[in-house]
C-alpha cells in the first residue's frame, strides 16, 4: 500500500495541481487587498478573519474538492483506473488515491492558513499595511479556547485542514461510487449550505458548518459546539466508506 501511495503522491505533483493549490492563497490575498484600506482592526486575528473567512467560507467545499478530484475524474474518463487494476489491486489503488487526495487537501489548507497567520502576526506589523486601534478585543470560539498565538495558529489551521480533508474525502468517495464529478462536487456544497440554512431557520447558528469552521460571525461559543456538524460529516463519510467496501463490481 505504501509504495502505491508514494507513487500517486509523486504523480500528483503536476503543474495543474500546483496551480489549483495556489487558488486558496490567491483568494485570501484578493480579499486582503480589499480590506487594506478603509478598515480599522483591533488585532491581527481580526485581519485574518476578514481576509480568510469571507469568500473562502462561502466556497469552502468547492475549494476542497478542486485540488485533486479533477485528476481522479480525468483518470476515470480515460479509463486509466481500469488499466491500473491489471498491475495492482483495485482496492489498494482506490484507497491510495483517497489517501493522496486527503493529504494534499489537508496540507494545502493547513500550510496556507498557518502561513497567512504567521505573516499577519510577525511580518505585516513591520510593513504597516493595516490600521489598528485600541479597544476591547472580541473573542471567537478558538481565540477563547486557545489563549496564546502559537496554540491558536496550530489549532485553527489544523481544524481548517481537517474539515477540508473530510469534505474532499466525501467528494472523492462520491466520485468513485458514481463516476460523476458534478455530483461529487455538488452534493457536499449543497449539504454545506442547506445545513447552514437549516440551523439558521432553527435559530441554532452555532451548529452551522460555516460558523463552526469559520466562527467569526457569531459570539464565542463552547468548543464542543464545533464537533456537532463535524460529527454529521463523519457519519456521512463512514456511510460512504461502508458502501464502497460492500460494492463488488466497479465500472471505472
| 105 within a domain of the structure (yes/no) | yes
| 87 within a domain of the structure (yes/no) | yes
The H or E element that residue 108 is part of is helix 90-118
Which of 44-48, 73-77, 85-89 is least confident? 85-89
Whole-angstrom distance, CA of residue 252 vs CA of residue 249: 9
| 252 within a domain of the structure (yes/no) | no
**Which grid cell sits at 138?**
472580541
How much is the average pLDDT of 45-72?
91
| 70 within a domain of the structure (yes/no) | yes
| 209 within a domain of the structure (yes/no) | yes
| 119 within a domain of the structure (yes/no) | yes
Q: Which domain holds residue 126?
A: 2-246
Q: What is the pLDDT of residues 160-197, one digit of tens each?
A: 999 999 999 999 999 999 888 999 999 999 999 999 99
Whole-angstrom distance, CA of residue 120 vs CA of residue 48: 7
Helix, strand, coil share (%) of the chain residues, nearest 5: 75, 0, 20
**Which grid cell sits at 235?**
457519519
Q: What percent of the chain has pLDDT over 90?
A: 54
Query: Is 137's pLDDT higher than 80?
Result: no
Domain count, the chain: 1
Mode of pairing for the β-strands spanning 40-41 and 131-132: parallel
| Residue 252's pLDDT band (cuts 50, 70, 90) | low
- What number of other Cβ atoms are within 10 A of residue 248's Cβ? 5
Whole-angstrom distance, CA of residue 141 vs CA of residue 96: 35
Amino acid at each position: 500500500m505504501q509504495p502505491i501511495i508514494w507513487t500517486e503522491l509523486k504523480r500528483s505533483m503536476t503543474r495543474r495541481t500546483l496551480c489549483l493549490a495556489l487558488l486558496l492563497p490567491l483568494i485570501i490575498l484578493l480579499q486582503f487587498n480589499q480590506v487594506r484600506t478603509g478598515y480599522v482592526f483591533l488585532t491581527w486575528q481580526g485581519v485574518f478573519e476578514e481576509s480568510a473567512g469571507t469568500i473562502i467560507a462561502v466556497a469552502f467545499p468547492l475549494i476542497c474538492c478542486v485540488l485533486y478530484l479533477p485528476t481522479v475524474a480525468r483518470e476515470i474518463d480515460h479509463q486509466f483506473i481500469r488499466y491500473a487494476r491489471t498491475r495492482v489491486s483495485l482496492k489498494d489503488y482506490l484507497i491510495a488515491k483517497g489517501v493522496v487526495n486527503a493529504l494534499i487537501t489537508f496540507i494545502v489548507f493547513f500550510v496556507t492558513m498557518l502561513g497567512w497567520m504567521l505573516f499577519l502576526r510577525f511580518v505585516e506589523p513591520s510593513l504597516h499595511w493595516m490600521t489598528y486601534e485600541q479597544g476591547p478585543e472580541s473573542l471567537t470560539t478558538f481565540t477563547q479556547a486557545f489563549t496564546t498565538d502559537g496554540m491558536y495558529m496550530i489549532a485553527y489551521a489544523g481544524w481548517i485542514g481537517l474539515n477540508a480533508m473530510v469534505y474532499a474525502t466525501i467528494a472523492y468517495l462520491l466520485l468513485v461510487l458514481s463516476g460523476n464529478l458534478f455530483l461529487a462536487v455538488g452534493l457536499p456544497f449543497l449539504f454545506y449550505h442547506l445545513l447552514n440554512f437549516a440551523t439558521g431557520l432553527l435559530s441554532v447558528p452555532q451548529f452551522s458548518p460555516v460558523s463552526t469552521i469559520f466562527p467569526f460571525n457569531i459570539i464565542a461559543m463552547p468548543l464542543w459546539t464545533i464537533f456537532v456538524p463535524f460529527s454529521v460529516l463523519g457519519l456521512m463519510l463512514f456511510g460512504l466508506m461502508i458502501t464502497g467496501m460492500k460494492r463488488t463490481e466497479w465500472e471505472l
